[in-house]
């Protein structure tokens, strides 16, 4: 319940721009957010491995 309310709160426009923060729209995670892909690192990794994120390939050394 609390996580859901935080997701709704983050989706609204903040009164002041300094109060804005990013939250993953898929799982609601507030940390490790990738702005370029608009999701957290965990969701990004899962989707990239499944091939759902275009233009991303797994790095090999």
> Where is the binding site for Zn(2+), in residues?
24, 27, 40, 43
CA distance 16 to 50: 38
Taking alpha carbons only, the member of 22, 24, 57 closest to residue 41 is: 24
Q: Coil, helix or strand for 19? A: helix
């Amino acid at each position: 319940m609390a996580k859901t309310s935080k997701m709704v709160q983050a989706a609204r426009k903040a009164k002041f721009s300094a109060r804005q923060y990013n939250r993953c729209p898929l799982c609601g995670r507030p940390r490790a957010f990738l702005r370029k892909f608009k999701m957290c690192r965990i969701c990004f990794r899962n989707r990239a491995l499944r091939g759902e994120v275009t233009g991303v390939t797994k790095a090999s050394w």
